[in-house]
Amino acid sequence: MTSQSAHPSTRWRVALLTCGVLLAAGGAGTRPFSAAAAMLVLVAAVAVSVRAIRPRPARSPGTPRVRRGIALWTALLLAIAAWEAYAYVRQPDWLHPSTDHPTLSTLLDPALEQGPLRFAGWLVWLGVGWWLVSR
């Protein structure tokens, strides 16, 4: 290897970032609530889920304060996920947003309907998801 060759870890990160940007660009280019957008969300969810279930080195259990914080954030995320799932299942048509049972996507859609903001929204969503499972 030459000194100019990228470290394997660096190449992996660049490839991962490139995939994320391409996925965000694809998502921003789809019509909201379309089958194509749903498939891109599914692809991202599967990738993040695979990352989430990987074996990790053992960590110390932490202090009682840290455990309470983890329990609180876990409960909050589960409540949001349950609300999102309930609202999604209660929609009359899963490919069209419902004002009677709005999901987070429905509520954020007016703010993210423009191309650049939609791309930024996808990037933020992918980045936060990856960050959550990488910790």
User: What pLDDT, in 10s, does the model give residues 56-96?
Assistant: 777 767 788 888 888 898 899 899 989 888 888 888 887 77
In the predicted model, is pLDDT for residue 119 greater than 90? yes
In the predicted model, is pLDDT for residue 54 greater than 80? no
pTM of the model: 0.67
Contact 61, 40 (CB under 8 A): no
Contact 122, 28 (CB under 8 A): yes
* Average pLDDT of the segment spanning 3-29: 82
User: With bands split at pLDDT 50, 70 and 90, how would you rate the model's confidence at 53?
Assistant: confident
C-alpha angle 54-56-62 in degrees, rounded to nearest 5: 135
